[in-house]
Chains A and B, each alone.
Chain A
């Protein structure tokens, strides 16, 4: 099931990720984090974690090393 999530992230990467070039302030990047999260925690929880990470990836946050725990 998690494959659907991973596929969605890849779809994003090859389309909008490439069209709107940006780099992430976190490591791993948001998209990689989403893949890791979905793989490790399952589609539902992983998606939630990925969404939360995206919200944290804003100009006011500090960024840094932040793997899925």
Chain B
């Protein structure tokens, strides 16, 4: 992280401008400026994620078949992925997961990291407690574990990270998903060394992911009865939110039969239902 300090300076300045604007112009405390910046970033990414969510919905219908194929090529990850890609193409599915939206958040993360490091050196000129958050984090620029409040934030981080993983990787295969779930428990030790403000950013972005997942689940109906029945035999409806397909879910169609037609037929009545639900 120390390596890239120079090329990232413009990013840091940009972040500082945004934070300053929220703090001085809008009048938010520093911690809430971070939350607001995160929300703005996620709002900018909404067009990307909406498209992803639509893909997720389409994928839900194919979950049983995908799982079937996943089982079939259990031993051969490479083959599993190739067959899965073939399955997507044949069924006209656009996989929900993609790398770009996630990578677009990385510059924000770095910028915030460097901004907060400078915050620690030149404390905000306002008043001493201005770096606090909700009375339990004394300073967002200090290491998370320097105060008991930081531990609460870390617990919230682990919870929110796990919850967002539920939405983002529901179609990934079991091993991968378990790994994603365990990750926050391992990384919490690394994150403890980060400034509390960075953890705050993380928690906010995770909560946004979860909220987005909940809202879309409510607005968009679940799969029609037949496939729902099939799915329930496997896992609770949480699997629906699945986003991370491409990588790990292996599933190859047993036969490249003309499947595209039925899903399309199912999608149309869905749209009607969605409208009704919205009006209610």
Verify A59–B82 contact, CB threshold 8 A: no
Task: Please report A residues at the B interface, Cβ cutoff 8 Å.
Answer: 16, 18-30, 54-55, 57-65
16 A-B pairs within 8 Å (CB atoms) are namely: A16-B106, A18-B183, A20-B102, A20-B105, A21-B183, A23-B172, A25-B246, A27-B81, A27-B82, A57-B100, A59-B96, A60-B94, A61-B94, A61-B98, A62-B89, A64-B89
> Which A residues are in CB contact (< 8 Å) with B101?
58-59
Q: How far is the CB of A19 from chain B (nearest CB, A)?
A: 6
- Fill in one digit per residue for B184-222: 1 if any A CB lies within 8 Å of its CB, else 0: 000100000000000000000000000000000000000
Q: How far is the CB of B89 from chain A (nearest CB, A)?
A: 6
Classify the secondary structure of A's interface with B.
loop
> Which A residues are in CB contact (< 8 Å) with B51?
59-60
B248 adjacent to chain A (CB < 8 Å):
yes
B244 adjacent to chain A (CB < 8 Å):
yes
Verify A25–B245 contact, CB threshold 8 A: yes
Q: How far is the CB of B67 from chain A (nearest CB, A)?
A: 15
- The answer to whether residues A54 and B103 also contact, given A25-B97, A63-B94, A65-B85 and a CB cut-off of 8 A, is yes
Verify B183–A22 contact, CB threshold 8 A: no
- The answer to whether residues A58 and B247 also contact, given A20-B105, A21-B183, A65-B85 and a CB cut-off of 8 A, is no
Which one of A20, A26, A55 has the greatest number of beta carbons of chain B within 10 Å? A20
Query: Of all chain B residues, which has the CB nearest A23?
Result: B247
Verify B85–A63 contact, CB threshold 8 A: yes
> Which A residues are in CB contact (< 8 Å) with B249?
23
> Which B residues are in CB contact (< 8 Å) with A21?
165, 168-169, 180, 183, 244
Q: How far is the CB of A31 from chain B (nearest CB, A)?
A: 8
Verify A55–B248 contact, CB threshold 8 A: no
> Which B residues are in CB contact (< 8 Å) with A16?
106
**Distance, CA A61 to CA B96, complexed state (A):** 10
Partner of B98 from the list A27, A63, A65 (CB cut-off 8 Å) is A63
> Which B residues are in CB contact (< 8 Å) with A65?
82, 85-86
**Distance, CA A55 to CA B98, complexed state (A):** 10
B52 adjacent to chain A (CB < 8 Å):
yes
> Which A residues are in CB contact (< 8 Å) with B244?
21-23
> Which B residues are in CB contact (< 8 Å) with A29?
99, 246-247
Seed contacts A23-B172, A23-B247, A65-B86; 13 additional CB < 8 Å A-B pairs: A21-B165, A22-B102, A22-B169, A22-B243, A23-B246, A24-B98, A24-B247, A25-B95, A25-B98, A54-B99, A58-B48, A62-B89, A64-B85
Verify B247–A63 contact, CB threshold 8 A: no
> Which B residues are in CB contact (< 8 Å) with A57?
98-100
> Which B residues are in CB contact (< 8 Å) with A19?
183, 187
- Fill in one digit per residue for B238-280: 1 if any A CB lies within 8 Å of its CB, else 0: 0000011111110000000000000000000000000000000
> Which A residues are in CB contact (< 8 Å) with B146?
none
Q: How far is the CB of B181 from chain A (nearest CB, A)?
A: 9
Query: Of all chain B residues, which has the CB nearest A58?
Result: B100
- The answer to whether residues A23 and B183 also contact, given A58-B98, A63-B246 and a CB cut-off of 8 A, is no
**Distance, CA A53 to CA B97, complexed state (A):** 14
